Amino acid sequence: MQNNIIEISNLSLPYAFQEFNLSFERNKLTIITGPNNCGKTTIIKCIIGQIFTDNTVYIFSRELEYYRITELNMLMKYIIPQEYIFSEDSTIEELQNSINNLEISCKKKQKMIDEIMDDLKLTPYKNKKPDTLPENIKIKIELAKQLLQEPKILLLDDIFIYMTKEEKENIINVLRKYQLKSDLTIIITTSNLSDCLEIDYIYVINNNSIVLEGEPLEVLQKDNILNRVGLELPFIIDLSVKLRDYDLINDIELNMTLDRMVNILWK
Protein backbone atom coordinates (compact mmCIF):
# COMPACT_ATOMS: atom_id res chain seq x y z
CA MET A 1 0.00 0.00 0.00
CA GLN A 2 1.22 3.48 -0.86
CA ASN A 3 0.39 4.75 2.64
CA ASN A 4 2.71 2.19 4.27
CA ILE A 5 5.96 3.77 5.37
CA ILE A 6 7.55 0.41 6.29
CA GLU A 7 6.92 -2.99 4.75
CA ILE A 8 8.45 -6.33 5.71
CA SER A 9 7.94 -8.84 2.92
CA ASN A 10 8.67 -12.58 3.13
CA LEU A 11 11.15 -12.18 5.97
CA SER A 12 12.87 -15.49 6.77
CA LEU A 13 15.39 -15.78 9.60
CA PRO A 14 16.63 -19.01 11.20
CA TYR A 15 14.78 -19.78 14.43
CA ALA A 16 12.78 -16.56 14.10
CA PHE A 17 10.54 -15.95 11.09
CA GLN A 18 9.51 -17.82 7.96
CA GLU A 19 8.01 -15.82 5.07
CA PHE A 20 6.82 -13.22 7.57
CA ASN A 21 4.95 -10.11 6.39
CA LEU A 22 4.23 -6.91 8.29
CA SER A 23 3.54 -3.28 7.36
CA PHE A 24 3.27 0.02 9.20
CA GLU A 25 1.07 2.86 8.08
CA ARG A 26 2.46 6.35 7.83
CA ASN A 27 1.83 8.76 10.71
CA LYS A 28 0.37 6.05 12.98
CA LEU A 29 1.32 4.94 16.48
CA THR A 30 1.56 1.16 16.26
CA ILE A 31 2.33 -1.36 18.98
CA ILE A 32 3.82 -4.80 18.44
CA THR A 33 2.93 -7.02 21.37
CA GLY A 34 3.21 -10.66 22.27
CA PRO A 35 4.78 -12.94 24.89
CA ASN A 36 8.48 -12.78 25.70
CA ASN A 37 10.80 -14.11 22.97
CA CYS A 38 8.17 -13.88 20.23
CA GLY A 39 10.41 -11.78 17.97
CA LYS A 40 9.44 -8.19 18.82
CA THR A 41 13.00 -6.93 19.26
CA THR A 42 14.11 -8.92 16.21
CA ILE A 43 11.59 -6.99 14.10
CA ILE A 44 12.96 -3.67 15.39
CA LYS A 45 16.54 -4.75 14.64
CA CYS A 46 15.55 -5.83 11.13
CA ILE A 47 13.97 -2.44 10.42
CA ILE A 48 16.98 -0.47 11.64
CA GLY A 49 19.41 -2.74 9.80
CA GLN A 50 21.11 -4.37 12.79
CA ILE A 51 20.03 -7.75 11.40
CA PHE A 52 20.64 -8.40 7.70
CA THR A 53 17.34 -9.20 5.98
CA ASP A 54 18.34 -9.87 2.35
CA ASN A 55 16.12 -7.26 0.64
CA THR A 56 12.92 -7.96 2.59
CA VAL A 57 12.53 -4.62 4.43
CA TYR A 58 11.27 -1.57 2.56
CA ILE A 59 11.22 2.04 3.78
CA PHE A 60 9.09 4.34 1.63
CA SER A 61 8.93 1.45 -0.91
CA ARG A 62 12.73 1.42 -1.20
CA GLU A 63 14.79 -1.58 -0.11
CA LEU A 64 16.59 -0.95 3.16
CA GLU A 65 19.90 -2.15 1.74
CA TYR A 66 19.91 0.72 -0.79
CA TYR A 67 19.86 3.44 1.85
CA ARG A 68 23.11 5.09 2.90
CA ILE A 69 23.72 5.10 6.66
CA THR A 70 23.52 8.90 6.74
CA GLU A 71 20.13 8.76 5.01
CA LEU A 72 18.77 6.25 7.51
CA ASN A 73 20.11 8.26 10.45
CA MET A 74 18.18 11.31 9.28
CA LEU A 75 15.02 9.38 8.45
CA MET A 76 14.78 6.95 11.36
CA LYS A 77 15.61 6.96 15.07
CA TYR A 78 15.30 4.19 17.61
CA ILE A 79 15.72 3.41 21.30
CA ILE A 80 16.77 -0.01 22.55
CA PRO A 81 17.32 0.30 26.32
CA GLN A 82 20.96 0.19 27.41
CA GLU A 83 22.18 0.34 23.80
CA TYR A 84 22.90 4.06 23.82
CA ILE A 85 25.88 6.10 24.94
CA PHE A 86 25.96 9.52 26.59
CA SER A 87 29.07 11.58 25.91
CA GLU A 88 28.35 14.86 27.70
CA ASP A 89 28.58 15.91 31.33
CA SER A 90 25.01 17.18 31.65
CA THR A 91 21.57 16.54 30.20
CA ILE A 92 21.37 20.03 28.69
CA GLU A 93 24.72 19.54 26.94
CA GLU A 94 23.60 16.13 25.68
CA LEU A 95 20.49 17.66 24.11
CA GLN A 96 22.40 20.61 22.69
CA ASN A 97 24.91 18.29 21.08
CA SER A 98 22.12 16.24 19.47
CA ILE A 99 20.97 19.20 17.34
CA ASN A 100 24.27 20.95 16.68
CA ASN A 101 23.97 20.13 12.98
CA LEU A 102 20.51 21.63 12.53
CA GLU A 103 20.67 24.78 10.43
CA ILE A 104 18.52 26.93 12.69
CA SER A 105 19.28 29.77 15.07
CA CYS A 106 20.69 29.18 18.53
CA LYS A 107 17.58 30.84 19.95
CA LYS A 108 15.29 28.36 18.20
CA LYS A 109 17.46 25.43 19.27
CA GLN A 110 17.24 26.52 22.89
CA LYS A 111 13.48 26.94 22.61
CA MET A 112 13.17 23.39 21.24
CA ILE A 113 15.32 22.01 24.05
CA ASP A 114 13.40 23.87 26.76
CA GLU A 115 10.11 22.60 25.32
CA ILE A 116 11.10 18.92 25.14
CA MET A 117 12.63 19.02 28.63
CA ASP A 118 9.40 20.48 29.95
CA ASP A 119 7.31 17.94 28.03
CA LEU A 120 9.27 14.96 29.36
CA LYS A 121 9.74 16.47 32.84
CA LEU A 122 13.52 16.49 32.49
CA THR A 123 14.18 20.00 33.82
CA PRO A 124 15.22 18.76 37.31
CA TYR A 125 17.96 16.73 35.59
CA LYS A 126 19.18 19.61 33.41
CA ASN A 127 22.63 19.77 35.00
CA LYS A 128 22.92 16.11 35.98
CA LYS A 129 25.34 13.74 34.27
CA PRO A 130 23.14 11.38 32.19
CA ASP A 131 25.27 8.28 32.84
CA THR A 132 24.58 8.54 36.56
CA LEU A 133 20.78 8.70 36.31
CA PRO A 134 18.20 5.88 36.66
CA GLU A 135 17.26 3.94 33.54
CA ASN A 136 13.82 5.56 33.19
CA ILE A 137 15.42 9.02 33.10
CA LYS A 138 18.13 7.87 30.69
CA ILE A 139 15.43 6.63 28.32
CA LYS A 140 13.59 9.95 28.51
CA ILE A 141 16.82 11.84 27.76
CA GLU A 142 17.46 9.58 24.78
CA LEU A 143 13.84 10.07 23.64
CA ALA A 144 14.27 13.84 23.89
CA LYS A 145 17.43 13.64 21.76
CA GLN A 146 15.68 11.62 19.06
CA LEU A 147 12.53 13.77 18.94
CA LEU A 148 14.61 16.95 18.70
CA GLN A 149 16.06 15.66 15.43
CA GLU A 150 12.56 15.38 13.90
CA PRO A 151 12.79 11.93 12.30
CA LYS A 152 10.01 10.46 10.17
CA ILE A 153 10.16 7.08 11.93
CA LEU A 154 10.71 6.38 15.63
CA LEU A 155 11.08 2.84 17.02
CA LEU A 156 10.93 2.20 20.77
CA ASP A 157 11.77 -1.26 22.04
CA ASP A 158 10.06 -2.15 25.31
CA ILE A 159 10.89 1.16 27.01
CA PHE A 160 7.77 1.16 29.20
CA ILE A 161 9.00 -1.61 31.50
CA TYR A 162 11.12 1.08 33.17
CA MET A 163 8.26 3.57 33.56
CA THR A 164 5.52 4.22 36.08
CA LYS A 165 1.92 4.44 34.88
CA GLU A 166 2.11 8.24 35.02
CA GLU A 167 5.36 8.27 33.04
CA LYS A 168 3.82 6.02 30.36
CA GLU A 169 0.83 8.31 29.99
CA ASN A 170 3.07 11.36 29.77
CA ILE A 171 5.30 9.75 27.13
CA ILE A 172 2.30 8.73 25.01
CA ASN A 173 1.02 12.32 25.18
CA VAL A 174 4.41 13.66 24.14
CA LEU A 175 4.65 11.15 21.29
CA ARG A 176 1.19 12.22 20.09
CA LYS A 177 2.28 15.85 20.14
CA TYR A 178 5.34 15.18 17.98
CA GLN A 179 3.43 12.76 15.78
CA LEU A 180 1.10 15.59 14.77
CA LYS A 181 3.88 18.17 14.64
CA SER A 182 6.34 16.22 12.50
CA ASP A 183 4.25 13.65 10.58
CA LEU A 184 5.92 11.01 12.74
CA THR A 185 5.40 7.26 12.44
CA ILE A 186 5.94 5.51 15.80
CA ILE A 187 6.42 1.79 16.48
CA ILE A 188 6.56 0.50 20.06
CA THR A 189 7.12 -3.03 21.31
CA THR A 190 5.68 -4.25 24.60
CA SER A 191 4.49 -7.40 26.37
CA ASN A 192 1.98 -5.46 28.46
CA LEU A 193 -1.51 -4.94 27.00
CA SER A 194 -2.10 -1.99 29.30
CA ASP A 195 0.37 -0.10 27.08
CA CYS A 196 -1.94 -0.62 24.09
CA LEU A 197 -4.94 1.50 25.06
CA GLU A 198 -4.06 4.91 23.62
CA ILE A 199 -2.56 3.91 20.29
CA ASP A 200 -3.77 3.53 16.70
CA TYR A 201 -3.04 -0.08 15.75
CA ILE A 202 -1.92 -3.32 17.39
CA TYR A 203 -0.09 -6.36 16.07
CA VAL A 204 -0.13 -9.43 18.33
CA ILE A 205 2.67 -11.86 17.46
CA ASN A 206 3.16 -15.43 18.63
CA ASN A 207 5.00 -18.45 17.23
CA ASN A 208 6.59 -16.26 14.55
CA SER A 209 3.27 -15.16 13.05
CA ILE A 210 0.63 -12.46 13.47
CA VAL A 211 -2.28 -13.90 15.46
CA LEU A 212 -4.27 -10.67 15.79
CA GLU A 213 -4.18 -7.18 14.36
CA GLY A 214 -6.41 -4.13 14.33
CA GLU A 215 -7.44 -1.09 16.33
CA PRO A 216 -7.28 -1.44 20.14
CA LEU A 217 -11.02 -1.85 20.67
CA GLU A 218 -11.14 -4.57 18.03
CA VAL A 219 -8.12 -6.52 19.30
CA LEU A 220 -8.75 -6.27 23.04
CA GLN A 221 -12.17 -7.87 22.68
CA LYS A 222 -10.48 -11.11 21.57
CA ASP A 223 -9.75 -12.07 25.16
CA ASN A 224 -9.85 -15.81 24.43
CA ILE A 225 -7.08 -15.52 21.81
CA LEU A 226 -5.03 -13.12 23.93
CA ASN A 227 -5.23 -15.44 26.94
CA ARG A 228 -4.23 -18.40 24.79
CA VAL A 229 -1.18 -16.47 23.59
CA GLY A 230 -0.26 -15.74 27.20
CA LEU A 231 -1.22 -12.07 27.35
CA GLU A 232 -3.34 -10.80 30.22
CA LEU A 233 -6.01 -8.17 29.63
CA PRO A 234 -5.78 -5.10 31.87
CA PHE A 235 -8.29 -5.53 34.72
CA ILE A 236 -10.56 -2.67 33.67
CA ILE A 237 -10.70 -3.95 30.05
CA ASP A 238 -11.34 -7.52 31.17
CA LEU A 239 -14.17 -6.27 33.37
CA SER A 240 -15.56 -4.17 30.52
CA VAL A 241 -15.61 -7.24 28.26
CA LYS A 242 -17.52 -9.21 30.90
CA LEU A 243 -19.99 -6.36 31.51
CA ARG A 244 -20.64 -6.24 27.78
CA ASP A 245 -21.13 -10.02 27.64
CA TYR A 246 -23.73 -9.72 30.41
CA ASP A 247 -25.49 -6.88 28.53
CA LEU A 248 -24.70 -4.38 31.29
CA ILE A 249 -22.99 -2.09 28.77
CA ASN A 250 -23.36 -1.88 25.01
CA ASP A 251 -19.71 -1.63 23.97
CA ILE A 252 -16.24 -2.23 25.37
CA GLU A 253 -14.89 0.87 27.09
CA LEU A 254 -11.12 1.29 26.91
CA ASN A 255 -11.06 4.09 29.48
CA MET A 256 -13.68 3.04 31.99
CA THR A 257 -13.22 4.84 35.29
CA LEU A 258 -13.67 3.27 38.70
CA ASP A 259 -16.71 5.48 39.34
CA ARG A 260 -18.29 4.38 36.08
CA MET A 261 -17.65 0.71 36.95
CA VAL A 262 -19.23 1.11 40.41
CA ASN A 263 -22.31 2.83 38.95
CA ILE A 264 -22.83 0.00 36.46
CA LEU A 265 -22.42 -2.72 39.08
CA TRP A 266 -24.64 -0.90 41.59
CA LYS A 267 -27.48 -0.80 39.11
pLDDT at residue 58, rounded to an integer? 95
CATH 3.40.50.300 domain residues, the chain: 4-231
pLDDT digit string (tens) for 61-91?
Answer: 999 999 999 999 999 999 999 888 899 999 9
- For residues 79 and 188, give the distance between their C-alpha atoms in angstroms, rounded to a whole number: 10
pLDDT at residue 84, rounded to an integer? 87
Sheet holding 17-25, edge to edge: 17-25, 4-13, 57-59, 62-63
Which of 125-129, 204-208, 249-253 is predicted most confidently? Answer: 125-129
Give residues with Cβ within 8 angstroms of 147, minimum separation 6: 116, 154, 174, 178
What band does 16 get if pLDDT is binned at 50, 70 and 90? confident
Q: What does the longest C-alpha to C-alpha distance in the chain come to? A: 62
pLDDT at residue 232, rounded to an integer? 86
Q: Which fold has domain 4-231?
A: Rossmann fold (3.40.50)
As a whole number, mean pLDDT of residues 1-18 equals 86
